[in-house]
Amino acid sequence: MYYGCYKDFGPDPPAWTPDPESALLTNVGSLLERRGKEFLGSKYSDPISSFSHLQEFSVSNPEVYWKTVLDEMCVDFSVPPDCILQSPSEYSHISNPGGKWLTGAFVNPAKNCLVVNRKRSLDDTVIRWRDEGDDDLPVKSMTLKELQTEVWLVAHALDALGLDRGSAIAIDMPMNVYSVIIYLATVLAGYVVVSIADSFAPPEISTRLKISEAKAIFTRVVFPCSFQQIMEHLILVFTISSEYLQLVFFAAHALIMLT
């Protein structure tokens, strides 16, 4: 992309080639510095000039490459995969023409995002974001400890609803930090997430709720500015039933159940 589109773009192109010092600070640069000669042999010289060789290696040696990537990311499988890539068989080549990845594996994304590992401590920043419309304000951040606290709060609130484990819970919200917290809390509490784009029209949302048989839905309500300033970041959870709707308010760190 850089050489095809942006090489002569100017002093500040949207894509660039990092200098050698910056390249070593990246995840792939650090990996190549440690294991480049092991993977590429005599083809390895430095992270930048050897990057295309690493791409070739990842295609020709998927078992080695992806096992390394998963280990570098500290992905902890609840049940490890039988293999990285299973070649398509005569029975599966139609539905999986390229083969099946990580066959037999089970992974808990909430656990992997919330636990301490050899590369992450409780004080490390795990999320950075800026709220929509706050372009002039500083970027916000959240540590692993803070994320754990927020996720556990929502998970306990979901547990208080008394839904059966494995029930589907929909999330119809913009992609912001609260959606991340709600997603992780839903998985952590033992429920199934149904993702719904917040741009969908009501009939489309209704269709997805019916297909998934969702028992509850997280959504956001936008109020007039004066009230919105008071109840900032108000999120609603509706439990779906033929007899009633129960509202659960998440306002800042408070949880109020209305029956």
In the chain, the amino acid numbered 104 is: G
CA dist 256 → 146, 156, 249 (Å):
21, 13, 5
62 and 157, same domain (yes or no): no
> Dihedral through CA 12, CA 15, CA 19, CA 22, nearest 10?
110
What tens digit of pLDDT does each residue of 86-114 get?
887 655 566 777 788 999 999 999 999 99
Structural domain tally of the chain?
A: 2
15 and 133, same domain (yes or no): no
Q: Does 197 map to a domain?
A: yes
Q: Does 203 map to a domain?
A: yes
Q: Does 133 map to a domain?
A: yes
Specify the pTM: 0.77
70 and 132, same domain (yes or no): no
Q: Does 174 map to a domain?
A: yes
pLDDT of residue 92: 59
Residue the block writes with tokens 């659960």: 248
What tens digit of pLDDT does each residue of 121-138 get?
999 999 999 988 888 999
142 and 250, same domain (yes or no): yes
In the chain, the amino acid numbered 178 is: Y
What tens digit of pLDDT does each residue of 140-192 get?
999 999 999 999 999 998 998 899 999 999 999 888 899 999 999 999 999 99
Q: Mean per-residue pLDDT for 20-31?
A: 90
Q: Does 168 map to a domain?
A: yes
Q: Which domain holds residue 214?
A: 125-258
Domain stops at, among 75, 106, 136: 75
Rounded CA separation 183/252 (Å): 17
Give the CATH number, domain containing residue 160.
3.40.50.980
